[in-house]
């Protein structure tokens, strides 16, 4: 039974939360920072550039995030997203992606093979089917029926890295601390900050004040065939609530899923946390539950609120994110971290 005392406590709490929320979320009118697009890692700069073109033409946040992350999916040089992504332990490139709009609509593809733009397939799932997720062969079948062209996603350099890995075939599913573990198994000089992971998660707020997000990855390098991480899971790798804000993640997907990370970040912003505080709290949940595991893995969250304020936090140093707004189009910032 719902007792009165509890009811009073509950309403006192929500009033408090609202008041706290107002501190961060209700800036004086006219100070909303829009349009704006933010995305994970240094390579987010190129993605933001494409998204910015959409946003400055009064385009929707949804189109912006789809077109933004597509740039990275098509870059054969990026070994953690789309074409050129590192394969699983069987040498198969499988891609995960999801997209979410301001109305709470969402779509995702899991372990999709042979298609360069999983984000666009995810959008079709959202817009053309009554479902949220399609996986594996079914996702491929759907993509083909929508006119996407199949191709070989394994580039020579990703194949070379996989063959190197096969020499030891050490199953080491922990995602690196940016640079330590993977140097042993991959070509020394991969472009940028790319080792055995990295995902592009993008969040945009358009001129109308609507939020959307996209997240796309080839996932953990040399994973078990069929393994799916957080990136295509709504609430884990990405979450948007148009009243509050949005969040996305990168790093060891298993830990993000276990803590429903991006949903958690958005709900914390609802309670009044700033984007950075919310990301930090989500990281702390992971660390508190598994302090020993957390020492050796990376997880980073990136978030934006309805006012276009943004923030990030990661377990380990080295997490970067790219910001593009009216003030600056090619900003790269270092996320704060626990270690």
Question: Which residues sit at the interface with ligand ASP, rule CB under 6 A?
Answer: 175, 197-199, 217, 219-220, 229-231, 250-253
171 phi and psi angles, rounded to 5 deg: -80, 105
Question: With respect to ligand ASP, which residue has the nearer C-beta, 116 or 200?
Answer: 200
199 is catalytic: yes
Question: With respect to ligand ASP, which residue has the nearer C-beta, 54 or 97?
Answer: 97
Tokens of 63: 């189109």
- Give the nearest distance from C-beta 227 to ligand ASP in angstroms: 8
Q: How many CB atoms lie within 10 A of CB 151?
A: 10
- Give the nearest distance from C-beta 197 to ligand ASP in angstroms: 3
Question: With respect to ligand ASP, which residue has the nearer C-beta, 185 or 220?
Answer: 220
Tokens of 306: 């309805």
Question: With respect to ligand ASP, which residue has the nearer C-beta, 73 or 309?
Answer: 73
Within 13 Å of residue 45, how many CA atoms lie on the same side as its CB? 10
- Give the nearest distance from C-beta 215 to ligand ASP in angstroms: 8
Tokens of 321: 């994110």
Question: With respect to ligand ASP, which residue has the nearer C-beta, 36 or 177?
Answer: 177
- Give the nearest distance from C-beta 317 to ligand ASP in angstroms: 15
| Residues shown for the chain | 339
Contact by Cβ (8 Å): 176, 316: no
Cα–Cα distances (Å) from 27 to 16, 31, 308, in that order, read: 18, 6, 10
- Give the nearest distance from C-beta 93 to ligand ASP in angstroms: 13
Question: With respect to ligand ASP, which residue has the nearer C-beta, 173 or 209?
Answer: 173
DSSP of 293-334, one letter per residue?
Answer: HHTT--EEEEEEETTS-EEEEESSTT-EEEEESSS-SSEEEE
Catalytic one of 40, 94, 155, 199:
199
125 membership: H or E segment, kind and range: helix 118-128
Cα–Cα distances (Å) from 310 to 134, 200, 276, in that order, read: 31, 16, 7
68 phi and psi angles, rounded to 5 deg: -60, -55
The owner of tokens 């360069």 is: 116
Residues 6+ apart with CB under 8 A from 114: 140, 150, 151, 152, 153
- Give the nearest distance from C-beta 220 to ligand ASP in angstroms: 5
Distance CA 231, CA 223 (A): 14
Which residues does the annotation mark as catalytic?
199
């Amino acid at each position: 039974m719902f007792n009165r005392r509890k009811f009073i406590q509950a309403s006192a709490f929500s009033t408090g939360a609202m008041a706290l929320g107002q501190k961060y979320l209700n800036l004086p009118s006219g100070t909303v920072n829009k349009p704006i697009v933010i995305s994970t890692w240094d390579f987010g700069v190129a993605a933001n550039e494409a998204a910015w073109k959409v946003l400055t033409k009064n385009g929707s946040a949804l189109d912006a995030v789809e077109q933004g992350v597509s740039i990275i999916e098509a870059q054969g040089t990026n070994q953690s997203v789309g074409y050129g992504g590192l394969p699983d332990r069987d040498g198969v490139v499988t891609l995960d992606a999801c997209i979410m709009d301001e109305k709470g609509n969402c779509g995702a593809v899991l372990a999709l093979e042979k298609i360069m733009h999983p984000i666009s397939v995810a959008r079709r799932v959202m817009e053309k089917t009554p479902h949220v997720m399609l996986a594996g062969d079914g996702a491929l079948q759907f993509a083909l029926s929508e006119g996407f062209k199949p191709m070989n996603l394994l580039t020579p350099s990703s194949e070379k890295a996989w063959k190197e890995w096969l020499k030891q075939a050490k199953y080491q599913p922990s995602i690196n601390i940016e640079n330590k573990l993977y140097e042993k198994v991959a070509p020394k000089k991969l472009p940028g900050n790319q080792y055995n992971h990295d995902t592009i998660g993008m969040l945009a707020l358009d001129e109308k004040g609507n939020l959307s997000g996209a997240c796309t990855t080839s996932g953990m390098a040399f994973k078990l065939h069929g393994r799916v991480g957080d990136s295509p899971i709504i609430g884990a790798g990405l979450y948007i609530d148009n009243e509050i804000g949005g969040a996305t993640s990168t790093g060891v997907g298993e830990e993000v899923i276990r803590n429903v990370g991006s949903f958690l970040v958005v709900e914390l912003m609802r309670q009044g946390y700033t984007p950075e505080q919310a990301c930090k709290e989500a990281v702390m949940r992971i660390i508190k539950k598994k302090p020993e595991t957390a020492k050796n893995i990376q997880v980073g969250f990136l978030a934006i609120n309805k006012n276009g304020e943004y923030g990030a936090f990661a377990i380990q140093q080295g997490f970067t994110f790219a910001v593009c707004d009216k003030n600056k189009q090619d900003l790269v910032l270092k996320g704060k971290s626990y270690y």
